[in-house]
Amino acid sequence: GHHWGYGEGDGPSAWHKNYPVAQGSRQSPIDIIPHQALQDRSLGPIVLNYDHCTSINISNNGHSVVVEFDDSDDRSVIQGGPLDNPYRLKQFHFHWGGKGCEGSEHTVDGYGYASELHLVHWNAVKYCSFGEASTAPDGLAVLGIFLETGDDHRWLHMITDALYMVKFKGSGTEFKGFNPKCLLPSSLHYWTYLGSLTTPPLHESVIWIVLKEPIAVSEKQLGKFRLLLFTGEEEDQRTRMENNFRPPQPLKGRKVRSSN
Ligand SMILES: NS(=O)(=O)c1ccc(C(=O)NCc2c(F)c(F)c(F)c(F)c2F)cc1
Ligand SMILES: [Zn+2]
């Protein structure tokens, strides 16, 4: 298949060669400008039903660290807000920078955060699989949460303590009973807009819901993400996994709406 990454030759500026939709009309991420967002009173609160969620495993896919869920029923769903249906939780993963650098994908008034958590959901009411949903304009809903450096996050250690087991690309391990509700900020106020996957194949199938309030994690906790490698155990060249974020893309006339 088409190899892509975040390096000089295979990074975001080269993705359009194998994935022309990279220059499409609803690409993500974007720079969110709060004062230009439309306050939409018809936008209700988002509702997260993660209480019976069933994480399965944690793995390094060579681009990020991913926690996958059993999405064979509607145990863990997001609904409300801009969504017409409940969307089923499939996985979550992170994007982050290098030491002291920014690493979020969305920015706010040009300001980047240290990292960004993506909770990926798919519309199982209208589509039969994640794959099918991932190519539909209303197929996916991704909840984005900013991470800023500050105090230790009391629950993130459950993730960071497992990272040594998934150091290499292609490594994975069982990771059961983790409920991502513990990674949410206190406010669920959000911005929402129509966008895309932020990595190849960059499908324009995502309803983005980006929470306004970041969560705080310590520099020590973030540093553990940077011990991960883009490369596999069998490769000679060890490349540290960091700066795995796509920069903001042109808005192309899209409107960003704001929950109240
Ligand atoms: N950073 S993000 O915007 O939140 C994002 C979320 C999910 C994926 C993903 O699932 N990729 C693999 C993948 C596909 F990209 C497919 F199109 C597909 F059909 C899959 F089954 C699949 F696993 C990529 C980026
Ligand atoms: Zn992501």
The angle formed by the CA atoms of residues 138, 57 and 137, to the nearest 5 degrees, is: 5
In this prediction, residue 1 carries a pLDDT of: 62
* Number of other CB atoms surrounding residue 184 within 10 Å: 17
* Distance from Cα 127 to the centre of ligand 2, integer Å: 21
- Which string of DSSP letters, residue by residue, matches 221-246? HHHHHTTSBSS-TT-SS--B-----P
**pLDDT for residue 101:** 87
Query: CA 215, CA 181: separation in Å to the nearest integer?
Result: 12
- Determine the Cα–Cα distance for residues 193 and 256; give it in Å rounded to an integer: 5
> Encoding tokens for residue 50?
């993660």
Please give the Cα distance from 136 to 159 (Å, whole number): 31
Give pLDDT < 50 ranges for the chain.
Answer: none
CB distance 136 to ligand 1 below 6 Å: no
Catalytic residues: 63
Q: Are 115 and 217 in contact (CB under 8 A)?
A: yes
State whether the beta carbon of 27 lies less than 6 angstroms from ligand 1.
Answer: no
Task: Give pTM, 2 decimals.
Answer: 0.98
Answer yes or no: is the ipTM higher than 0.90. yes
What is d(CA 198, CA 192) in angstroms, rounded to the nearest whole number? 15
Q: Which of 199, 205, 207, 245 for a ligand 1 pocket mutation test, highest count of atoms within 8 Å of Cβ? A: 199
Q: How many residues does the chain have?
A: 260
pLDDT for position 52: 85
The kind and range of the H/E element at 17 are: helix 15-18
Q: Which of 218, 227, 216, 211 is nearest to 162 (CA)?
A: 227
Does 203 sit in the ligand 1 pocket, CB within 6 Å?
yes
Peptide bond into 20 cis (omega under 30): no
| pLDDT at 182 (0 to 100) | 97
145 Cβ inside 6 Å of ligand 1: no
pLDDT in the model for residue 2:
78
Q: What letter represents residue 169's amino acid?
A: K
CA gap 252, 31 in Å, rounded: 12
